Amino acid sequence: MHHVPKRFVCLLGLLLLSSAGCGRGPFPVSGKVTFEDGTPLKGGFVNFITQVDKDEVVSRGAINMDGTYNLTMRSPHDGALAGTHKVYLSPLIVSDPTLRAQMAFDDRFLKPETSGLTCEVRSGVNVFDIKVTRPANAGR
């Protein structure tokens, strides 16, 4: 049996701990999408987009019927890379007019350059609740 000095073991442990928190991720990202009155957006997708060097990296999450979402980048619910992300929404294509009306949000949320939404993903668990508005011509 080899004897390993305690100092080496402590140093190795510190290196492992410090490297575990480093990097760009992905880090878990979840939240809830609601209208200004608190009603959940039912269906569609939340998209986070960031620049890495000259490439755009997108993480995407389906919006559940209660408005909640979890982002996926490479594997289910792994999240998004650390950094600033532009956020936009994608609707589901649905044939049910009632469900389509419940999903209706202002068109400005369809593009990252017009949504006005940004989020800063950091190492660790991230929770971002997103508020959207209905289209200006939506009747209630």
pTM listed for this prediction: 0.76
Burial of 108 per CB tally in 10 Å (0-12, 13-18, 19+): middle
Sequence-distant (6+) residues with CB within 8 A of 16 are none
pLDDT of residue 102: 59
- For domain 24-132, give the fold: Immunoglobulin-like (2.60.40)
pLDDT of residue 89: 95
pLDDT of residue 101: 59
Encode pLDDT of 16-42 as tens digits.
333 344 578 999 999 999 999 999 998
Sequence-distant (6+) residues with CB within 8 A of 19 are none
Ranges of residues in the chain whose predicted pLDDT is under 70: 1-22, 94-103, 137-140
Give the per-residue SS3 of 19-66: HHCCCCCCECEEEEEEECCCCECCCCEEEEEEEECCEEEEEEEECCCC
